[in-house]
Amino acid sequence: MKLSRSTSKKTSVLQAKVFLKYVVLIGIAYSSGFAALAYGQQTSQKTSFADNQKPNIVIILADDQGWGDLSMNGNKNIRTPNIDGLAKQGAQFSRFYAAPLCAPTRAGLLTGRYHYKAGVYGVSQNQEFMNLDESTLADLFKAAGYRTGIFGKWHNGSQYPFHPNGRGFDEFFGFSSGHYANYFNTTLDYNGNEVKSKGYIVDDLTNKAIKFIEKNKQSPFLCYLPYSSPHSPFQVPDVFYDRVRSRGISMFTRDSTLEEKDKTISALAMCENIDWNVGKVLKKLEDLKLSDNTIVIYMSDNGPNTWRWNGDMKGRKGGVDEGGVRVPFIIRWPKHIAKGLIVKEMAAYIDILPTLADIANVSTAACKPLDGLSLKPLLMGQNPKWPDRFLFSAINKKRSVRQGSYLAMEGELYNLKTDPGQRYNIAKSDPINYKSLNDTLQRWYADVIKNIDSIRWHPVGYVEFPLTVLPSQDANLHKFGNSHLSYSAPAPNSSWITNWDNINSYVSWDVDIHTSGEYEVSMYYTASTKTVGSEFEITFGNNKLTGMIREAFDPPLDPNFDRVKRELESYEKQFKLLKIGIVKLEKGKGKLMLHPISMKGDRMMDVKSLRLKLIKSSEIDPHTKS
């Protein structure tokens, strides 16, 4: 096995089995028609739906895949026949833009509005939560009679009703945070319950999506597949990694001194795995005779997460230059969208909701004013007139605006028609154009940022969704003195609270108790033998509950399949569930605090999450007769 860290014999056996499975399945897939499907040689078929019925929707979203991470865009380092074939069978946009980071793109895709307006201005510590008064793509299509499912990375809020099951999705299988610790045989969320995944995460997400499609083949469906790769950690089955590594890397980012070859190989191998899974989805649609009446979209959420070849574009994920936000976008709908169509007009992630609603004749009356435009005229119209629009990109202190061939940001102006690589700043030589665009950008930003809620209250206690998980990433850490209290990794997502070495330090969550009543409280923890006997207290207002660590549970980190040493994510380890007791909580907002009473040894327990389950409501049911 080609792993960057040593693993146990059991782990090696698992990888060997995974390798054999891929060798067999890839051979079967390509021999049975994947290759033909990839290059547009579809067999004739009859669809299950009449042309005048509602089209099915499949949206596949890659995580951190750059525009250059597809062989169709000229990258000789990678092979993506199924995605390339999808483009040949439909339309691709040459200038399509996402937001600079994961959660903002997802929010804009789902609402048709700039992510700031939807309340999303970051990727962790509650900045990724999408406002509850926004109507989502799933809300609209569910109301129109569609079955709705999401299989993958949500990243727009954890607790119900921020949870996907509260945002219009009938079925959810995946995870709600932005980073995940392990992509093999991990723990995921299925409609609010913890379940074990099987094998490699992207494969499992695809298999669950395929089952959803099979189950709903007789009714219109919206299937959203936001994959978790090639986002780090860089984990991928051997068959894909070995294939990319054996070919070697011959094309590099424009400053090759920035590129880390191991990361490039890993990311491209993850992209080839995505392509293989896209092929599985397309073949299932073909087998079920659903292809002709299914709109399939493929795109990425931002630019590449490492420095690698990206068509000479400047920048990468997290920035607002071309390389940070220009992404692939492909849409196929046989018999409606011409094969091989290249759309040169500028479009963006905020256009997806209005486009699909327009095509499917689904009302957007429930939405707030949309920022996006329907792309239907570009895809299906005759001589369409397209506005000379502004497109804005922003995250943190970085922001830019595009209009026509021009790109402007603070102190910079580029003509992308003559300078697609942004090598020549013309702000000083074209000051009138620069000032006009920059003024427009500053006015837009001031408008969208003004209503951002910096405190995000985590809802607790819905009768229809009684279990609320408060993960460590959503907690506020209150250090006292020289305390080392921290998350287990620089990026809070998928981490735990650790180094709790000061009895005066504490942790809190900003919560909004929706229902007064009795709650069963539990906690996922680890603790050494020295910590046994430590006591803690959970308080909310005047209500409190005490607990004690009575049993040591201090496992090592789980074996991992990393190809490259990770920089942001925590490694994964097992946690033990401690049932603490029952507490009465009153409806309202406030801080739920977890703080030590006594500390044995030199530190408190590590905490993965608190869990509150509503077991008895003290509120009067308005439907109950007196």
CA–CA gap between residue 87 and residue 358 (Å, rounded): 21
Cβ neighbors of 585 (< 8 A, separation 6 or more) are 460, 461, 513, 516, 517, 518, 519, 540, 541, 543, 612
Write the burial class of residue 379 (CB in 10 Å: 0-12 exposed, 13-18 middle, 19+ buried).
Answer: buried
Tell which residue, 511, 531, 534, has the closest CA to residue 521.
511
Which class would CATH give 50-238+250-391? Answer: alpha beta
Cβ neighbors of 101 (< 8 A, separation 6 or more) are 122, 123, 301, 302, 317, 318, 395
CA–CA gap between residue 415 and residue 243 (Å, rounded): 39
- Determine the 3-state secondary structure of 117 from DSSP: coil
CA–CA gap between residue 605 and residue 531 (Å, rounded): 7
CA–CA gap between residue 298 and residue 202 (Å, rounded): 15
3-class SS letters over 216-271: CCCCCEEEEEEEEEECCCCCCCHHHHHHHHHHCCCCCCCCHHHCCHHHHHHHHHHH
For the chain, the straight-line distance linking the first and the last C-alpha, in angstroms and rounded, comes to: 68
Q: Which CATH architecture has domain 458-617?
A: Sandwich (2.60)
Cβ neighbors of 304 (< 8 A, separation 6 or more) are 64, 65, 66, 68, 69, 267, 310, 316, 317, 323
The answer to whether residues 528 and 615 touch, using CB atoms and an 8 Å cutoff, is: no
**Tokens in use for 615?**
């077991």
Task: Mark whether 102 is an active-site residue.
Answer: yes
Listing DSSP states for 525-537 in one string gives EEB-GGGTT-EEE
Q: Residues in the chain, how many?
A: 626
Average pLDDT, 10 consecutive residues per value, the chain (626 residues): 36 43 44 36 35 86 98 98 98 98 98 98 93 98 98 97 98 94 95 96 98 97 98 97 98 96 98 98 98 98 98 98 98 97 97 98 98 96 85 96 98 98 98 98 97 91 97 94 93 88 97 97 98 98 96 95 89 96 97 98 97 92 47
The CA distances from residue 559 to 564, 571, 572, in Å, are 14, 9, 8
The answer to whether residues 521 and 541 touch, using CB atoms and an 8 Å cutoff, is: no
The answer to whether residues 186 and 174 touch, using CB atoms and an 8 Å cutoff, is: no
CA–CA gap between residue 119 and residue 107 (Å, rounded): 9
CA–CA gap between residue 410 and residue 323 (Å, rounded): 17
Cβ neighbors of 236 (< 8 A, separation 6 or more) are 183, 200, 229, 266, 269, 270, 273, 561, 563
Domain ranges of the chain: 50-238+250-391, 458-617
CA–CA gap between residue 502 and residue 527 (Å, rounded): 15
pLDDT at 48: 36
Q: What number of other Cβ atoms are within 10 A of residue 14's Cβ?
A: 18
Q: Which helix (H) or strand (E) holds 445?
A: helix 431-449
CA–CA gap between residue 177 and residue 162 (Å, rounded): 12
Please report, for the chain, how many H helices and E strands are present, in that order.
12, 28
Tell which residue, 298, 308, 345, has the closest CA to residue 93.
345
Tell which residue, 135, 201, 142, has the closest CA to residue 171.
142
pLDDT at 620: 66
The CA distances from residue 324 to 236, 288, 310, in Å, are 24, 38, 10
pLDDT at 492: 74
CA–CA gap between residue 461 and residue 617 (Å, rounded): 9
CA–CA gap between residue 497 and residue 64 (Å, rounded): 27
What are the two backbone dihedrals, phi and then psi, of residue 331, each rounded to the nearest 5 degrees? -140, 130
- Do you find a cis peptide bond into 233, omega within 30 degrees of 0? yes
Q: What number of other Cβ atoms are within 10 A of residue 228's Cβ?
A: 25
CA–CA gap between residue 245 and residue 304 (Å, rounded): 19
Task: Fill in the DSSP letter of residue 303.
Answer: S
What are the two backbone dihedrals, phi and then psi, of residue 432, each rounded to the nearest 5 degrees? -70, -45
CA–CA gap between residue 502 and residue 431 (Å, rounded): 57
pLDDT at 543: 95
Dihedral sign for Cα 304, 306, 310, 312, please.
Answer: positive
Q: Of these residues, 115, 155, 231, 514, which one is catalytic? A: 155
Write the burial class of residue 366 (CB in 10 Å: 0-12 exposed, 13-18 middle, 19+ buried).
Answer: exposed
Write the burial class of residue 462 (CB in 10 Å: 0-12 exposed, 13-18 middle, 19+ buried).
Answer: middle
**Tokens in use for 155?**
């990243």
**Please, what is the angle between helix 238-247 and helix 9-29, to 10°?**
70
